[in-house]
């Protein structure tokens, strides 16, 4: 088996490391969301003083985790698929399917990413704010993250394709 | 291109690519990108990105990671194991007693979790070895665990109902209430089946040896303490929803707090456990959310092409009784359930189906229950039924995936039966939510 490319010790490229790091770091966001939610419920019922910011902050934090969770699970090859046929294919067929897979991601992400970038640029230009009681530029952050997350998925798809092809090399 | 051809090409190419082993998230996304650009140009992509942006801005969606985290923590704690032990000592001489107790434990766990996976893994680790040790029929034991563990999304809370409620814009509280009786009915049917089969042929589910059954009453009652913490966990979610204290997301947050509390009381709460739980949550969310993005994109393009109107005209134009249309939809869902994940199915089909059933005068809450019951079948159906894969991961190596799928047929039959009962008697679902 040919050694995987990237760092010889771990086989991880910088792209892999970025996807994993973002995923592992942002995973804690969910626990923070729980703590904030509990805080909100406590403030509302025990002290009768609901906050205006918990709700929106929890949504924004979770959105960031959702967006970068894509690249994280892509690096870990966890996206739901039917592998029964794929597993029985000869290596050459599998290579073709891997290529098709990477192309699917890249075409989807390129089209969606172009739109996400435009969406983000418009938000940045306008300095878009949430327009709610807690009026902060959350849309700028989340829309930018969506665009960045899509670019990271494209890079990760390319890295994964190279890895898949090298793995089967005799 | 006519809408007939668009429909055939979009869904046909989807199925082909899924069978080739491409992930659902990217298959749907690719189809959205190709058809969107070809039919409507770049503007359609802007529509997709704004739809995805507003999707991640839904507060209800935050309950999904919370329900997943609840289950991830529970999986790493002994709470559910104690629950099973508390149930086990009461099995006695009842034919198939241990399997029935497993089902009772699974049903209670269903009220503590909103996802599937954790429950099956757990029952596979604790209940399966015990049933096999007593000489239970392997198929019966496997089926009990897979079908029982799948009740996680049938007994409220349930992320299937959360996503359904979000997609078709109906009250998630009402959906939860509507699912209670059908969920218990399903579990009751499974238990009745186990009882009848073991009664006719006691070798299928022999009782435990006399020695093990002779537990003093005092000790039996002591084991019942194992019910306290699960009660707190289930109560922290369902209690906050039904007393109207909190929204679904807040209730899920309280559920995580309740689960953390239970783990803390048992002295199991530590950083490695917490870290593993949040990472598992992240993986699961990355997968679920990107399937939703892809499906949202694909249905967005199909919508632009006039798909829903076409399907509606087509179905109404069949000139059959409305109930037949519902049956056709159920059949489509069962077929898709063999190929796709529930969340993809929900986001792709419900925006098309639910307006039709509304115009036929049916209640979308009832249809949500039918959808949820249908997804129970999809967990067990080959070649992709996730319940089987979860169990395979923890079952003894001599039990193959084929063995598991073969064991699941009778349980799928019961699920279809239960589905038909609720289909023909909607009050079973709608009675409870009608009370408030």
- Mean pLDDT (chain A, rounded): 87
Q: Which residues of B182-213 are buried (b: 16+ CB within 10 A; e: fewer)?
A: bbebbbebbbebbbebbeeeeebbbbbeeeee
Chain A residue closest in CA terms to B341: A80
Whether residue A87 has pLDDT greater than 90? no
Q: How many helices (H) and strands (E) does chain A have?
A: 6, 0
Find all residues with CB under 8 Å of B203, minimum gap 6, and list them: B135, B137
Residue A9's pLDDT is: 63
Whether residue A56 has pLDDT greater than 80? yes
> Within 13 Å and on the Cβ side, how many CA atoms surround A117?
11
Residue A168's pLDDT is: 61
pLDDT band at A85 (very low <50, low <70, confident <90, very high): confident
Shortest Cα–Cα distance, B10 to chain A (Å)? 14
* Mutant choice from B16, B17, B18, B21 vs A, greatest count of A C-beta within 10 A: B21
Whether residue A2 has pLDDT greater than 60? no
A-B contacts at Cβ under 8 angstroms:
202
Residue B208's pLDDT is: 77
Shortest Cα–Cα distance, A4 to chain B (Å)? 22
Chain A residue closest in CA terms to B19: A82
- Tens of pLDDT, residue by residue over A104-154, are 999 999 999 999 999 999 999 888 888 787 888 889 999 999 999 999 999
Whether residue A1 has pLDDT greater than 60? no
Average pLDDT over residues A48-62: 89
Nearest-angstrom CA–CA distance, A27 and B126: 29
Nearest-angstrom CA–CA distance, B122 and A112: 39
Residue A46's pLDDT is: 82
Residue A80's pLDDT is: 82
Partner-chain contact B29 A83, CB within 8 Å: no
Nearest-angstrom CA–CA distance, A14 and A156: 10
Region of B273 on the Ramachandran plot (φ > 0 left; ψ -120 to 50 alpha; else beta): alpha
Residue A6's pLDDT is: 58
Residue A169's pLDDT is: 59
Residue listed under structure tokens 């000592």? B89
* B22: nearest CB among A30, A81, A110: A81
pLDDT band at A10 (very low <50, low <70, confident <90, very high): low
Tokens of residue B142, six digits: 């496997």
In this structure, are residues B40 and B301 in contact, taking their beta carbons and an 8 Å threshold?
A: yes
Whether residue A4 has pLDDT greater than 60? no
* Mutant choice from B290, B294, B295 vs A, greatest count of A C-beta within 10 A: B290
Nearest-angstrom CA–CA distance, B283 and B272: 16
Nearest-angstrom CA–CA distance, B393 and B22: 22
> What is the residue-level pLDDT of chain B in tens, covering all 436 positions?
789 999 999 999 999 999 998 999 999 999 999 999 999 999 999 999 999 999 999 999 999 999 999 999 988 888 888 888 887 777 667 888 899 999 999 999 999 888 988 889 989 998 999 899 989 999 999 999 999 999 999 999 999 999 999 999 999 999 999 999 999 999 999 999 999 999 999 899 888 777 777 777 787 777 777 788 888 888 888 888 877 778 899 999 999 999 999 999 989 999 999 999 999 999 999 999 999 999 999 999 999 999 999 999 999 999 899 999 999 999 999 999 998 889 999 999 999 999 999 999 999 999 999 999 999 999 999 888 999 999 999 999 999 999 999 999 999 999 999 999 999 999 999 999 888 6
Nearest-angstrom CA–CA distance, B179 and B433: 9
Query: Which DSSP helix (H) or strand (E) runs through B400?
Result: none
Residue A63's pLDDT is: 95
Q: How far is CA B149 from the centre of its chain?
A: 9
Nearest-angstrom CA–CA distance, B153 and B107: 10
* Mutant choice from B19, B20, B68, B381 vs A, greatest count of A C-beta within 10 A: B20
Partner-chain contact B20 A100, CB within 8 Å: yes
End-to-end Cα separation, chain A, in angstroms: 6
Nearest-angstrom CA–CA distance, B115 and B262: 19
Q: Which residues of B131-146 are buried (b: 16+ CB within 10 A; e: fewer)?
A: bbebebbbbbbbbbbb
- Tens of pLDDT, residue by residue over B78-115, are 888 888 888 777 766 788 889 999 999 999 999 988 89
DSSP annotation of A133 = S
Nearest-angstrom CA–CA distance, B132 and B181: 31
The reported pTM is 0.92
Nearest alpha-carbon partner for B423 in B377, B362, B359: B362
Distances (CA, A) of B327 to B44, B321, B330, B371: 33, 10, 5, 12
Residue A8's pLDDT is: 60
Q: How far is CA A115 from the centre of its chain?
A: 17
* B29: nearest CB among A58, A112, A143: A112
Find all residues with CB under 8 Å of B239, minimum gap 6, and list them: B245
Residue A7's pLDDT is: 61
- Tens of pLDDT, residue by residue over B9-36, are 999 999 999 999 899 999 999 999 999 9
Residue A52's pLDDT is: 85
Q: Which residues of B400-420 are buried (b: 16+ CB within 10 A; e: fewer)?
A: ebebbbebbeebbebbbebbe
């Amino acid at each position: 088996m040919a050694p995987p490319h990237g760092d010889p010790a771990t086989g991880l490229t910088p792209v892999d490391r970025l996807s994993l790091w973002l995923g592992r770091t942002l995973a804690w966001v969910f626990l923070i969301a729980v703590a904030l939610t509990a805080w909100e419920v406590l403030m509302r019922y025990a002290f009768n003083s609901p906050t205006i910011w918990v709700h929106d902050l929890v949504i924004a934090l979770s959105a960031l985790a959702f967006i970068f969770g894509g690249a994280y699970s892509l690096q870990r090859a966890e996206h739901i698929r039917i592998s029964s046929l794929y597993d029985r294919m000869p290596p050459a067929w599998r290579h073709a399917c891997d290529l098709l897979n990477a192309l699917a991601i890249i075409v989807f992400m390129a089209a969606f990413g172009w739109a996400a970038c435009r969406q983000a640029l418009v938000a940045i230009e306008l300095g878009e704010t949430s327009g709610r009681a807690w009026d902060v530029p959350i849309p700028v952050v989340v829309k930018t993250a969506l665009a960045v997350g899509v670019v990271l998925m494209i890079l990760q798809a390319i890295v994964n394709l190279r890895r898949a092809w090298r793995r089967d090399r005799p | 291109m006519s809408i007939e051809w668009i429909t055939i090409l979009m869904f046909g190419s989807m199925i082909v690519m899924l069978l080739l082993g491409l992930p659902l998230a990217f298959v749907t996304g690719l189809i959205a990108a190709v058809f969107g650009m070809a039919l409507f140009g770049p503007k359609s992509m802007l529509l997709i990105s704004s739809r995805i942006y507003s999707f991640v801005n839904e507060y209800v969606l935050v309950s999904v990671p919370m329900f997943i985290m609840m289950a991830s923590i529970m999986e790493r704690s002994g709470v559910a194991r104690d629950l099973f032990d508390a149930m086990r000592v009461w099995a006695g001489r009842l034919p198939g007693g241990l399997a029935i107790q497993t089902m009772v434990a699974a049903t209670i766990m269903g009220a503590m979790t909103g996802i599937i996976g954790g429950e099956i893994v757990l029952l596979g680790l604790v209940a399966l070895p015990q049933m096999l040790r007593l000489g239970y029929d392997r198929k019966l034991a496997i089926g009990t665990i897979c079908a029982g563990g799948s009740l996680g999304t049938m007994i409220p809370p349930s992320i299937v109902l959360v996503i359904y409620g979000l997609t078709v814009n109906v009250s998630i509280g009402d959906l939860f209430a509507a699912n209670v009786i059908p969920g218990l009915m399903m579990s009751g049917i499974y238990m009745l089946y186990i009882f009848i089969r073991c009664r006719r042929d006691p070798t299928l589910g022999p009782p435990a040896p006399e020695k093990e059954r002779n537990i003093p009453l005092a000790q039996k009652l002591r084991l019942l303490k194992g019910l306290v913490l699960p009660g707190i966990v289930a109560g922290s979610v369902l209690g906050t929803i039904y007393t109207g204290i909190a929204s679904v997301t807040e209730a899920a947050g309280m559920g995580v707090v309740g689960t953390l509390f239970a783990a803390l009381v048992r002295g199991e709460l530590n950083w490695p456990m917490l870290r593993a739980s949040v990472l598992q949550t992240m993986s699961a969310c990355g997968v679920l959310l990107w399937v939703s993005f892809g499906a949202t994109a694909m249905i967005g393009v199909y919508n632009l092409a006039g798909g829903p109107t076409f399907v509606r005209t087509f179905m109404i134009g069949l000139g059959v009784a409305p109930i037949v249309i519902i049956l056709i939809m159920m059949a489509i869902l069962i077929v898709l359930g063999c190929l796709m994940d529930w969340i993809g199915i929900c986001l792709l089909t419900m925006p098309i189906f639910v307006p039709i059933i509304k115009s036929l005068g049916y209640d979308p809450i009832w249809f949500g229950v039918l959808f949820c019951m249908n997804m129970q079948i999809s967990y067990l159906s080959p070649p992709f039924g996730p319940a089987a894969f979860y169990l395979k991961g923890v079952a003894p190596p001599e039990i193959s995936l084929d063995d598991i799928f073969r064991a699941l047929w009778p349980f799928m039959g019961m699920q279809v039966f239960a589905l038909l009962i609720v289909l023909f008697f909607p009050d079973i679902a709608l009675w409870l939510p009608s009370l408030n």
